[in-house]
Amino acid sequence: MNPTWLIALPLGFAFLGIFAGKFSKAFLWIASLANAIISLFIFNGNGVTSYIIGGWIPPYGINLVVNDMTRVFLLAVNLIFLLALVATSAEILKKDEKMSVAFMLSLAAINGILLTGDLFNLFVFLEISAISAYIMAASGKEAISKFAALKYLILGSIASSFYLLGVIVVYASTGTLNMADAAAKVTSLNPNVLLAAGLLMVVGLGVETKLFPFNGWAPDVYANASGRGSTILASVFPIAMISAFIRVITFVINSGKLNELIIVLGITTAIIGEVLAFSQKRMKKMLAYSSIAQAGVILMLIGIGSSKAYIGASMLLLNNGFGKLLLFSVASQIALVAGSDHFENVTGVGRKSPLFTLLFGAGALTIVGMPLFFGFRSKLYVISATMDKSLWIPAVILITAAIEVTYYFRWIFNLVKADAKLSEKRSPVPFGLALAGLLAVLVVIAFGIVPEANLDFFNRIGDLSIQLSKTLMGGM
């Protein structure tokens, strides 16, 4: 199956959706359902395949690359996107016909980011995904969501220009934009030039991947966007952005000094994220800081760059995707039921509707890394992957996990605490949220308990990452 369909379908539907009125919501469903099915077909395969666009061979034309890492990410992204739509289907957005267009375009852009084998094409898709993210960020009910979106808009636009500047430096010195070709040519480059280009790109991609100190936009945006917007931003976007980060920073640039910088920044991000999450009074803000911390750990693993670290990073990414899908969709619904998501307001909501507690609890437990959940397996793997680098990296991971456990359990206990203030009326859980939530819970538990042999697609990520780094990635 040609992966171009993953980009072309949502794109085509989005263009139709702008004047189709009510149908645009249906288009969104059709596009995401079709994408989920197509990505299932693409997942059934292995090895590296390059699909050329426009009939021009790389490095002259643009190509899409499907490898084992992309396959896993594509399936995860399209499934989580569909589940996020189902989970938040009860929410009524302002101007939701036009919002559907933005969601469709974000789906197309995310698939493009995962697939493309060209540095400039990646920039174009980053732009599309970023602009749709600004629109999603501004989709909240309160005016503060617009303010958060404006902050994100300024930071994000500067970040894209930094990335573009990095691409320009690479193009000026190597004369090519194809990732694999550039990766082969930068090895003979002056290390200073390479470092400068890499640094510019780290700044550019760091904003989107929430690397400290470029992540100031994230808490406000995640906390104030609409339910659907924040769920997609927190669960789907990190997978695509970190995939872009892996491709550009570690596969193309691959400069030793830069990787060390990323390890340090990643650890800092993780610690700061967890500590700030601990002190939050709002549920969605707490989740946002927790997302930042998760991104920090994943980026740190990417900085280490061993094959085991890549496997660990992709496990954590998927775990974070499914976990945050549960947490954000439930948190948005709870905020709707309780009037706000402040700590005092949500006390006892889970007692009235146990399903909330179940879904939120499952999401929290898999993020924290409790046994039986996917999080446990991935964190165990991460610790074993970082052990041979140095001992204090797993120690940091364990400490952050300990902080994580504390505050997540505080929120879970708060949800089930008996509280007289709440009215007797039960607050029903919308059908879509229950369905998608239970499916996501099934996924994280299944990934947590199935035997290792059934998860060999993760091992293939690790096997390939080394050879991919230079020769095969661009399919040349």
Question: For binding to another protein (CB under 8 A), which residues are involved?
Answer: 2, 4, 8, 11-12, 14-20, 51-57, 59-62, 95, 98-99, 101-102, 105, 108-109, 112, 120-121, 124-125, 127-128, 131-132, 134-135, 138-139, 146, 169, 172-173, 175-178, 188-193, 196
Min. distance of Cβ 12 from another protein in angstroms? Answer: 4
Task: Identify which of residues 102 and 263 has a Cβ nearer to another protein in the complex.
Answer: 102
Q: Which class for 83: exposed (0-12), middle (13-18), buried (19 or more C-beta within 10 A)?
A: buried
Min. distance of Cβ 44 from another protein in angstroms? Answer: 20
Task: Identify which of residues 14 and 295 has a Cβ nearer to another protein in the complex.
Answer: 14
- Measured distance CA(466)–CA(472) in Å, rounded: 10
469 Ramachandran zone, left/alpha/beta (phi>0; psi -120 to 50): alpha
Amino acid at 97: E
Task: Identify which of residues 62 and 338 has a Cβ nearer to another protein in the complex.
Answer: 62
In DSSP terms, 116 is beta-bridged to 64
Of the candidates 203, 321, 212, the one whose C-alpha atom is nearest the C-alpha of residue 266 is: 212
Task: Identify which of residues 104 and 461 has a Cβ nearer to another protein in the complex.
Answer: 104
What DSSP state is assigned to residue 44? S
Q: Which class for 303: exposed (0-12), middle (13-18), buried (19 or more C-beta within 10 A)?
A: buried
- Measured distance CA(422)–CA(418) in Å, rounded: 9
In DSSP terms, 63 is beta-bridged to 52
- DSSP result, 423-475: -SS--PPPHHHHHHHHHHHHHHHHHHHS-GGGGHHHHHHHHHHHHIIIIITTT
Of the candidates 107, 117, 110, the one whose C-alpha atom is nearest the C-alpha of residue 66 is: 117
8 A C-beta contact, residue 39 and residue 75: yes
- Measured distance CA(190)–CA(281) in Å, rounded: 49
Min. distance of Cβ 6 from another protein in angstroms? Answer: 11
Min. distance of Cβ 292 from another protein in angstroms? Answer: 24
Min. distance of Cβ 128 from another protein in angstroms? Answer: 5
Task: Identify which of residues 165 and 383 has a Cβ nearer to another protein in the complex.
Answer: 165
In DSSP terms, 52 is beta-bridged to 63
Task: Identify which of residues 181 and 341 has a Cβ nearer to another protein in the complex.
Answer: 181
Task: Identify which of residues 183 and 397 has a Cβ nearer to another protein in the complex.
Answer: 183
- Measured distance CA(245)–CA(254) in Å, rounded: 11
Min. distance of Cβ 474 from another protein in angstroms? Answer: 12
Task: Identify which of residues 189 and 441 has a Cβ nearer to another protein in the complex.
Answer: 189
Min. distance of Cβ 311 from another protein in angstroms? Answer: 31
8 A C-beta contact, residue 427 and residue 349: yes
Of the candidates 212, 311, 218, the one whose C-alpha atom is nearest the C-alpha of residue 267 is: 212
Task: Identify which of residues 26 and 450 has a Cβ nearer to another protein in the complex.
Answer: 26
